[in-house]
Chain A
Amino acid sequence: MVSLARKTLIHEWRRFLPATLAVGFSTLLQLLQAALVLGIFGGAAVYINDSSADIWIGYPGTQAIDLGRAIDGDVASLLDMNHEVTRVEPFYLLDGDWRGGHGTGGVSVYISGISTQPGGMMFARVLTPVLRAKLTYPESVIVDPADLTKLGVKVGGTAAINGHLVRVVATAPGLRALGGVDILASLQTARLLDSSAGEAGGPTYLVARLRHPANAGRVVADLNGHTGFGRYHAWTAPQFARRSVLFWLFNTGAGAGVLFLAVVVFAVGAIITSQALVAAVAASVNEYATLNALGVGRRQLRWVVLEQAFWVGACGVILASVLAGLLIWLAQSENVPVAVSVPVLSACLVLVMVLVGISGLMAMRTLRRADPATLLR
């Protein structure tokens, strides 16, 4: 079987190189952008993703985790009554004003008040049991090592939050949040640092572990069906993480910027690719016309152009995937916030192939010029 598309692509590779590179760079930009978006906006859900809780209880209508309000602590008794629930922890998420000295002025921070009991759910993926135990000392806090400079403090150093003295007892990588600095403290320390203490008094969230995590959806529905325990709403951990990320992505303007850039990258890729394919078809228009004169239908000729587009796309995508893999690895090793999600990256690749298909369809129009009657002089 002679594949005209493939043979032409190999023989005239210089002609197709701009299109392949255009597809490649479009793909690379999309993949890196997706990885950065996942990495940066994933920070909005760092509290959820770094914890091992299956269920989150918060104030009704909370749009993102950092926008939580205090809830009634009595909801804990409702959780205790549920047979699926094996463990419940309160979680305080408070605003704070950090004064670290060394000319850093004031820094807005989020204070996370978490359980220091062994096996605690909050930040279970970041804190080792030893680190968690260190928080039991009053006024102890843990920060991300990357935030030390910003906070103007070193491990073992002291600073003030909301006018109260705290001591940095350790660092834990993976705490960097979107839009602020995360400070981990014990529940007791957090309550001490709470500038609005006495207003509501309850935790910002309650988190729970289930006997069978797969039943989280059913348990959440069950919890949300109760009344009489104050104002609260329950989410599964993935639901709440998604809610937080989407809020940051679409309601802050940053998401709109990212989407706009994606559209521009796609448009540029599509234009360059289609122009290269159009030029390739135009260069062989007499040969296509001859095939049509010999009875090869226009539909079959269009398939040749589409096949050409497909191979251009496949080469570009493979090239970009290899480069993206290398760059993401490099970014991760340099603490740049990037994250890989197979469904999202697959969607990027599918979108690129759709772009290539559209370019092929645009190039097909050139085949109209392949009229065999024009070959007769």
Chain B
Amino acid sequence: MPELVPPLPSSATLVAQNIAKSFASGRLTTPVLSNLSVSIDAGELTLISGPSGCGKSTLLSILSGLQTPDAGHVMALSESLQTMDSHRREAFRLHHTGFVFQGFNLFPALTAREQVRLPLQYLDLSSQEIDRRTDESLEEVGIAHRHHLRPAELSGGEKQRVAIARALAKLPALLFADEPTSALDAASGQVIIDLLHRIARAHGTTVLCVSHDPRLISHADRVLTMEDGRILNDSRQLTPHRPQDRRASC
């Protein structure tokens, strides 16, 4: 990865104001988020936790521009996501955001290295730059020695690290992770959350993670607790569990 930069001063890169979202099923309309405001800072790992159905994944999809709110505004990197058409939003995501999902979602036909290269091909980069970023991302997540393997030959933790490398190689300012450890055993989950924390610190990336896994709380810089579409508690941890210094291995 490029040279390490010191954590950015606390500054909001993601701001949601009075957002609301509801889903209709037949005649029934279920409110999921109601009048919610929040701002997320760069350079730290923010965890949204709460029980299933509390609206945390919906909040993540709105903050990342995958869905639009029924009401309210979202500013990402000082740009209003609502004013963008779908093409502009795709371009914004291409240049500024990375995603890590619970299900890894890796193409069965591609090796780890090709999984990471693929999205980079859609950025206007030279092949040398693509190679450099691919190698550095795989190195950073500790999977460089497994670069030639396809998903079927990797463990769950390794697959998730490839997925993180794929997101990381784009050098995103915003990194969204949805239940990144839910499908993993404890040790692998520990490695993944350490990795996300280190990315936030080392690259000044805004890392927003959604999880109902209580083990992650101690690793986050900031924890937003949600229930019934509202943020009940916003706590900042002064001394979160530090990411381990060693390279990830699981």
Chain A residues with CB under 8 Å of chain B are 1-2, 4, 7-8, 10-12, 284, 286-287, 289-298, 300, 372-373, 375-377
A291 and B119 form a contact (CB under 8 A): yes
Question: Which residues of chain B (155-204) have a CB below 8 Å from chain A?
Answer: 166-167, 170, 178-179
Q: Please list 29 pairs of residues, one from A and one from B, whose beta carbons are closer than 8 Å in the complex, sorted by A's number.
A: A1-B121, A2-B118, A4-B107, A4-B110, A7-B107, A7-B109, A7-B110, A8-B108, A8-B109, A11-B108, A11-B109, A12-B108, A287-B107, A289-B105, A293-B64, A293-B99, A293-B101, A294-B167, A295-B90, A295-B93, A296-B90, A297-B87, A373-B66, A373-B67, A376-B57, A376-B60, A376-B210, A377-B57, A377-B178
User: Which residue, of A7, A289, A295, A297, has the highest number of chain B Cβ atoms within 10 A?
Assistant: A295
A-B pairs with beta carbons under 8 A, tally: 96
Q: How far is the CA of A219 from the CA of B60 in the complex (A)?
A: 81
Residue of A nearest to B99 (CB): A293
Whether the pair A2, B178 counts as a contact (CB closer than 8 A) is no
Q: When chains A and B are docked, how far (Å) is the Cα of A12 from the Cα of B110? A: 11
Residues in B with CB closer than 8 Å to A377 are: 57, 102, 178-179
The interface bits of chain B over 100-115 (1 if a CB of A lies within 8 angstroms of the residue's CB, else 0) are: 0111011111100010
Given pairs A11-B108, A295-B94, A375-B178, 18 additional interface contacts (CB within 8 A)? A1-B121, A1-B127, A2-B114, A7-B107, A7-B110, A8-B107, A8-B109, A11-B109, A284-B108, A295-B91, A295-B95, A297-B90, A297-B94, A297-B122, A300-B122, A373-B66, A377-B102, A377-B178
Whether the Cβ atoms of A376 and B61 lie closer than 8 Å is yes
User: Which B-chain residue is minimally distant from A297 (CB atoms)?
Assistant: B90
B107 to A, closest residue via Cβ: A287
Q: Chain A residues with Cβ under 8 A from B127's Cβ?
A: 1
Please determine whether A4 and B118 come into contact, CB atoms closer than 8 angstroms.
yes
Residue on A nearest B117 in the bound complex, by CB: A2
Establish whether residues A376 and B101, one from each chain, have CB atoms under 8 Å apart when the complex forms.
yes
- Distance in angstroms between the alpha carbons of A118 and B118 in the assembled complex: 73
Chain A residue numbers with a CB within 8 Å of B66 are 293, 372-373, 376
* Distance in angstroms between the alpha carbons of A294 and B98 in the assembled complex: 6
| Known contacts A10-B109, A294-B166, A295-B97; A373 and B103 CB within 8 A of each other | no
Q: A50: shortest Cβ distance to chain B, in Å?
A: 55
CA distance A296 to B91 in the complex (A): 8
Contact surface of B with A, Cβ cutoff 8 Å = 57-58, 60-61, 64, 66-67, 87, 90-95, 97-99, 101-103, 105-110, 114, 117-119, 121-122, 127, 150, 166-167, 170, 178-179, 210
Least Cβ–Cβ distance between A200 and chain B, in angstroms? 75
List, in ascending order, chain B residues with CB within 8 A of A284's CB. 107-108
Chain A positions within 8 Å of B90 at CB level: 292, 295-298
Given A286-B105, A293-B66, A376-B57, is A2 in contact with B94 using a C-beta cutoff of 8 Å? no
**A287 x B57 contact (CB < 8 A):** no
Q: How far is the CB of A12 from chain B (nearest CB, A)?
A: 6
Q: How far is the CB of B106 from chain A (nearest CB, A)?
A: 7
Please give, as numbers and ranges, the residues of chain B lying within 8 Å of A291 by CB-CB distance. Answer: 118-119
- State the CA gap A288–B107 with chains docked (Å): 9
User: Which residues of A are found within 8 Å of B99, using beta-carbon distances?
Assistant: 290, 293-294, 372, 375
Q: Which residues of A contact B178 (CB under 8 A)?
A: 375-377
B104 to chain A, nearest CB (A): 9
Closest to A284 in B: B107
Q: Which of A290, A292, A372 has the most CB of B within 10 A?
A: A290
Pairs A-B, 5 closest by C-beta atoms = A295-B94, A11-B109, A295-B93, A290-B105, A376-B57
| Chain B residues near A286 (CB-CB < 8 A) | 103, 105
Select which of B87, B103, B106, B121 is within 8 A of A375 by beta carbon. B103
Q: A7-B110, A373-B67 are in contact. Are A294 and B57 (CB under 8 A)?
A: no
A289 to B61 CA separation, bound complex (whole angstroms): 13
Contact A296 B105 (CB under 8 A): no
Output the least CB separation between A292 and chain B (Å): 7
Inter-subunit contact A294/B110 (CB<8 Å): no
Whole-angstrom distance from the CB of B227 to the nearest CB of chain A? 18
> Nearest A residue to B105 by beta-carbon distance?
A290
A372 and B90 alpha carbons, distance in the complex (Å)? 11
Give the chain A neighbours of B166 by CB distance below 8 A: 294
Please tell me if the beta carbons of A296 and B119 are within 8 angstroms of each other in the complex.
Answer: yes
A3 to B87, alpha carbons, bound, how many Å?
23
Nearest neighbor of B170 in chain A, beta-carbon distance:
A294
Nearest chain-B residue to A7 (Cβ)? B109
Question: When A7-B114, A295-B97, A376-B178 are in contact, do A287 and B92 touch as well, CB less than 8 Å?
Answer: no
